[in-house]
């Protein structure tokens, strides 16, 4: 267990050490949600584009950032 934990720490430290010199890779892929307050626009787009409208109801609240950007904030 101790050996395994040490190995884990060595590896994760290395990753951190490397980050100091190199930016980490990442994938910005995200759903192109239409935002709250723009429902009529979403519905119009669905009709115009002849695509299904998907609605996600969020029951645990949305903060200020999440209400204006689908990839930010809490929601």
Partner 1 sequence: MRAGGFAEPRVIRLINRRFVPFFFNTSGVGQGDDEGAAAFVDGKLENSFAYLSAFLPDAAGTNLGSSALYASKDELFQYLLGLLRAHPELAWVTTEEAAVFDAAEHGPCDVTSLLAAAMLHEELGQYTAAVDLAERAIRVEDITTDQWARGFRVLAAIARYQKQWSRVADLCAWARAIEAPDGHDLLADIELELAYRHLAANEYEQARERLESAIVKHPRAKRSGELRFYAGVASYFMGREDEAEFHWCWVNEHIPGDVMARRCFVAAARKGMPYSNPELGGFSASGMIGGNTRIMKEAYATARGNFLRLRDRTGGLLPVGRSCQSE
Binding site for partner 1 (CB under 8 A): 5, 8-19, 21-40, 42-43, 45-47, 49-64, 66-67, 70-71, 74-75
Least CB distance to partner 1 at residue 48 (A): 8
Identify the CA nearest to 36 among candidates 69, 71, 67. Answer: 67
In the complex, what is the shortest distance from the CB of residue 72 to partner 1, in angstroms, rounded to a whole number? 9
Q: What dihedral angle (degrees, nearest 10) is formed by the CA atoms of 23, 71, 59, 54?
A: -130
Which tokens go with 42?
A: 């979403």
CB of 39 to partner 1, least distance (A): 4
């Amino acid at each position: 267990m101790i050996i395994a934990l040490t190995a884990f720490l060595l590896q994760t430290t290395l990753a951190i050490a490397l980050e100091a010199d190199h930016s980490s890779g990442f994938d910005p892929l995200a759903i192109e949600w239409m935002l709250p307050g723009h429902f009529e626009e979403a519905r119009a787009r669905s009709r115009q584009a002849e695509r299904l409208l998907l609605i996600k109801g969020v029951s645990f609240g949305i903060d200020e950032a999440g209400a204006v950007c689908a990839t930010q904030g809490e929601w």
